Structure formats: C-alpha cells, structure tokens
A = this chain, B = another copy of it.
Amino acid sequence: MFESAEIGHQIDKATYKREEPQLREALLGAQYELLRQARTAVVVLVNGVPGAGKGETVNLFNEWMDPRHIRTEAFGQAGGDGRPDMWRFWQVLPPKGHIGILFGSWYADPLSDCVTGQDKRDRFHHRLERIRQFERMLAAEGVVLVKLWFHLSKKAAKARFKLLGSDPRTAWRVSTAEWDHLKQHDDWVRASEEALRKTSTAEAPWRVIEGSDPAYRSLTAGRLLLDALTACLQAKSAARAPAAAPAALTAPALDGRSLLAAQDYSRHLGRKRYEAQLEELQGRLNGLSRRLVDQHRSLVLVFEGMDAAGKGSTIRRLTQALDARHYRVVPVAAPNENERAQPYLWRFWRYIPHHGHITVFDRSWYGRVLVERVEGFCSQADWMRAYGEINEFEEQQHEAGAVVVKFWVAITPEEQLRRFEERKNTPHKQYKITEDDWRNRAKWPLYAQAVGDMIDRTSTRTAPWHLVASDDKLWSRIEVLRLLCERLEAALGATAK
C-alpha cells in the first residue's frame, strides 16, 4: 500500500508558491458550492504515521477554507462509557453541505489495539469489517468520504524526528511516544497496510500521501480534497441507486396469511389479577433496574406497533417501576430538518444510553422499514439494505453491554377500529386521532407485510422481537412486563428478589 509513497516525492518552493493560491481559491469555491447545494456531507479522515504532517494538513485545510463550515475533531483512545465504539463518531458527523475533518477517526483504535496485541487477528478483522459496513452505509446515505493516509518510510520518519528534535522551536513535536512508535514501525506498517487494503472500496478508497516534503504533501492533500469535492458537486444525485434492482420483498404471501394475522388475539386478563400481577412485576423490574446499574449494563427498549395499539400506556406502566434518573423515553416522529441532513440512524445513535441507563424508544429506527418503506419515503434499495444496517447497529449495542429488547404491540384491524371510534367519541382523547391515522389504517395489508419482513429479518438471538397480542390491554401490559423481566434476568445472570 505504501510502495509509491516511499520514493521521495517532492515539489520545489517556486511551484508551491505558484500553485497554492489557485488551490485555495478553488477549495473555497467548492466549499461554498457544497454548502449551497446542501446535498452531501464530506468527511475527511486524517490518519497515518506520526511526524508525517497530519496536524499541519488539518491546520492548512482550516486556513485555506472557511473554518465556520468545517467541523474538526480529534480523537484519542475511546473512553468506555458503555456505548458502542462508533457512538462518538456519530456525534460529530457533519450535516449535509458541511465538511468534517476527523483527525484519528475510527481507524486509530483498531490499529493501535492490533499493534499492541490487545486485539487478536480475528477481532481486528471483525472491526475492519464493521468499518467497511459503516462506510458503505455512509456512502449509500450520500456522505462522501475522503480517506487520507500520511506515510513516511522508516528512514524518513527517523530523519524527520531528528530534524524536529534538533530545533528548540519544534522539539515539542517529538516525544517518547514518537520514538516508541518508530521502534514498532514495521508492526504499524503491517497492520496499516492490511487495514487500508481491506477498507479501500470503490466507494471510499484510501489515498496515501508521502509526508516528508511539506510542499508535496500539502498540495497533494489539497488537490485530493478538491477532486473529491468537485466529483460530488458534479454527481447527478447524492445517493447511489442500483441500476438492476433485485425483485423487492413486496409481494404478500400467496395464501394471504401474514405473521401478524397468525397471532392468537383471544387472550384476556381480568382487572383483579391484572392489578396483582402488575404490582409484582413492577417490583421485580425495579430490582432488575438496580442490578443493571450495579453491573454497568444498559437497556435499550424498542416499542413499535400500529396506531392505537397501546404503546404509550404500556410504556407508562413500565416506567412507573423505574427511577427517573435512570431512564429516558424518546418519542419518535417524522425527522426534523437537522435530522434529515444526516444518515437516517443518526437521530437514534444520539440517544443510545451509557452504563447504567435505560432508553425507551416509542417508535424507532424501524420506521425505515415500516412507514418509510410503505409510504415510499425512501427507495427500495434503501429499505432493503436497512435490515442489515439495523442488525449491525443493534449488534454494536449488544457488544457494548446493552440489553436490547424489542416489542411489537399487535392488535387486530377490528380492535383498532373500535379504539379509533372510541377516541373520536371521547373529548379528551380526540387529540390522539388524526387524518393520518385513518390513512395509515387503509394501508393495513402493506404494513402487515412490512412488519412480517421486519420481524423475519431483524429478530436476532441477541435482539429478538417479541410479538405481543394486545387486543386485551391488560393481558398485553402484563405480558410485556413479564417478557422484559425474563430478558433482563437472563442477561444479568440472576433472579431478582
């Protein structure tokens, strides 16, 4: 990967002086056009060997362009607050029209953990594969990645450290860490080469820049950024669309039967038994939530269901058992302007709980494969890739120690109609029923099909779906609480008192 970056590239000062102003002007122009189009976000990854000019280049980019529309972030080793590793990168993704510069980026930790031997080869490969999926998803969502690797041969690195160290004004740049890195230079090169090769895709290829000559390095980095900006400004559409799409998962089963319709909706629970069981289960859940804090685990709860299925009232019965400092309920509606300027998972990543915390999503990222699919808010290719992206998202949560529990609160169309009528006829419930609800109801078969596909394709061992027949609200609430307690007991490894 580094062969061409060890041949001593350089550019003379006169050329640099001539080229630099033109490059600046072009970059600035492209940046403003990006902002005006507001169609694509550009993320520049800055990685490479110490002493190869990464920091200087980041400074230059900010000097050459308007820094108010550039978000520069530097990353050290991950903190470990119980959120997935990728969480902190999601927090700083630039919105459409903006440029993000990630110094270190999602490559720094996997590489260093590989070189220090903390990660075994399989784990390293797993993390690279995760990165590849992440970047593929970003590209599909219209984010352009410019991946720059600044390289120095071992000889050049040594020469540069000596040079920097010999001048009191630059000696601070070379610490023991840099010399230690040099000792392990070959290990770093081996790991980096592999990482770069395995993550150089057609959508997001790595570009290697020889770092020893500042003029060559700066002009090259600037030129690569400019090329990427120009390419994405000229592209016809921001997202990738497949020319030969496979047949979609849209046809209902030939016998007309669906997973939702096949549930048993006849179950019923009397008020008295409900109240006794509710109290017992809420106590059990409370104990479990304390265990969760003690064990530094977190809990992600997802509630999905048709309109009027009883998601809200079920969530209330559940949160009654929790300490308000430990949970938050996130109601999910149509995305707002800020959220639409980001990949669709962005607004959910924000609320992933840290250690000891609980997030309850009242509707969730599954909107992508439900309402967005049925209403055509995204393309077929978009929602079809979403199953894999969502599984990957939840797997990351699981690996970071979260318990992920998902409920589909299921009602029959007849029961929904009864509840709609009741809402319409009860003054204090009228606000709950809108024209949208009736429109959605008319598309019941399409939603039923989408729900079946969703459950088939995203019910995993670590984050299974629980379908709860809820025509009887009391039975359903108890069932949800019971399933939740069981899942927590299994995950936390002990029966609560």
Interface residues of A (CB under 8 A from B): 1-5, 7-11, 40, 122, 125-126, 129, 139, 142, 144-145, 190, 193-194, 197-198, 200-205, 207-208, 216, 219-220, 223-224, 227-228, 230-232, 235-249, 251, 253-255, 257-259, 262, 381-382, 384-385, 387-388, 391, 452-453, 455-457, 459-461, 465
**Could you tell me if A249 and B205 are in contact, using CB atoms closer than 8 angstroms?**
yes
Copies in the complex: 2
Q: How far is the CA of A235 from the CA of B246 in the complex (A)?
A: 9
Q: Are B216 and A255 in contact (CB under 8 A)?
A: yes
Contact between B40 and A244 (Cβ–Cβ < 8 Å)?
yes
- In the assembled complex, the CB of A281 is this many whole angstroms from the nearest CB of chain B, namely 26
Chain B residues in 8 Å Cβ range of A145 = 246
A-B contact pairs, 6 of them (CB 8 A): A3-B456, A7-B259, A201-B384, A235-B244, A240-B240, A241-B243
Chain B proximity of A141: nearest CB distance (Å): 11
Q: In the complex, what residue of chain B is closest to A249 when comparing beta carbons?
A: B205
Interface contact B239-A243, CB-CB below 8 Å: yes
**In contact, A202 and B381 (Cβ under 8 angstroms):** yes
Across the A-B interface, the 7 shortest Cβ-Cβ residue pairs: A227-B247, A202-B384, A235-B244, A7-B262, A202-B385, A231-B247, A122-B122
* Closest-CB distance, A458 to chain B (whole angstroms): 8
Task: Compute how far the CA of A61 lies from the CA of B197 in the bound complex, rounded to whole angstroms.
Answer: 42
Q: Bound complex: CA of A461 vs CA of B121, how far in Å?
A: 14
Q: How far is the CA of A11 from the CA of B257 in the complex (A)?
A: 10
Which B residues are in CB contact (< 8 Å) with A129?
A: 129
Beta-carbon contact of B9 and A219 below 8 Å: no
Closest B residue, CB atoms, query A381: B202
B contact residues around A384 at 8 Å (CB): 201-202, 205
Indicate if the CB atoms of B246 and A231 lie closer than 8 Å: yes
In the assembly, what is the distance between CA of A391 and CA of B126, in Å?
Answer: 17
Contact of A255 among B9, B122, B227, B391 (CB under 8 A): B9
User: How many angstroms from the CA of A252 to the CA of B225 in the assembled complex?
Assistant: 15
Contact of A247 among B5, B125, B230, B461 (CB under 8 A): B230
Residues of B within 8 A of A232 (CB): 244, 246
Known: A4-B253, A7-B257, A122-B126. 9 other contacts (CB 8 A): A3-B455, A4-B455, A11-B255, A207-B249, A227-B247, A227-B251, A231-B244, A239-B243, A241-B243
CA distance A224 to B385 in the complex (A): 19
**Bound CA–CA A241/B381 (angstroms):** 13
**A261–chain B nearest beta-carbon distance, Å:** 8
Interchain CB contact under 8 A, B197 and A460: yes
**A245 and B231 in contact (CB under 8 A), knowing A205-B384, A223-B251, A388-B200?**
yes
Residues of B within 8 A of A142 (CB): 244
Q: Name the residue on B nearest A10 (C-beta).
A: B255
A243 lies within 8 A of B237 (CB)? yes
Contacts of A198 in B (CB 8 A): 388, 391
